[in-house]
Chain A
Amino acid sequence: GNSVTQMEGPVTLSEEAFLTINCTYTATGYPSLFWYVQYPGEGLQLLLKATKADDKGSNKGFEATYRKETTSFHLEKGSVQVSDSAVYFCALLTGGFKTIFGAGTRLFVKA
């Protein structure tokens, strides 16, 4: 079946450090891939998405490239800020309407 695996957290970084959160997926067909972010006390919100192979999604300095050959969609940011502290969810949607989420990776950024 379809599934998403992302690195376990928490990830703790100092401000201005480089961030990578790994995400790999298993899916039939050609899924759309997403990163959602959940700030403390809030629901999830879409961070970025990519709908086909080699597409790069980007938003707020975050980037992720849809790699079909490695079935990956790793999230990166060149210089994190304290305000980026949150839980990050990788997700996929293939065919119908069931968005499948990974378990989430908590990021702490220290000043």
Chain B
Amino acid sequence: ETGVTQTPRHLVMGMTNKKSLKCEQHLGHNAMYWYKQSAKKPLELMFVYSLEERVENNSVPSRFSPECPNSSHLFLHLHTLQPEDSALYLCASSQELGGAFPGANVLTFGAGSRLTVL
């Protein structure tokens, strides 16, 4: 399998549940990202990892907890979410974190995990 794969594609959870979103990339990229896509709003960058180290936490509430066990896998652990957290969560990767060479920071996205919080 190639590209960026996200599971599950759809998730419905109650406010007291704990669930996790998974992202896997088979591109040999060194940087991985979580974005939140809500209706009629720009994409919001949530977290950035480079070589398994978190380099950005964009003021995200602690009910979202990322984990990057290796450069190919990224998780987003969810607990005690609110209905306003319902959105499409997109994972992306890039070859490198910055613009070390042309194309290094071009993002490759997964298809997303559609989350509904009841």
Contact = CB atoms under 8 A, between A and B. Distances in A.
Interface residues of B, number: 27
Nearest to B45: A98
Contacts of B50: 97
Interface in B76-104: 90, 92, 94, 97-99, 102
B111 A97 contact: no
Contacts of B94: 97
The size bracket of the interface on A is: 20 to 34
A32 B105 CA distance: 10
B43 interface: yes
A103 interface: yes
Nearest to B58: A98
Given A98-B45, A98-B56, A101-B43, A43 B110 contact: yes
Contact of B112 (A36, A43, A51): A43
A1 interface: no
B102 A51 contact: yes
Contacts of B92: 43-44
Q: Lowest 10 CB-CB distances: which A-B pairs, in order?
A: A43-B109, A101-B43, A44-B109, A97-B97, A43-B111, A101-B42, A103-B42, A43-B110, A42-B111, A43-B112
Given A32-B99, A41-B111, A46-B108, 5 more contacts: A32-B105, A43-B92, A43-B112, A99-B45, A103-B40
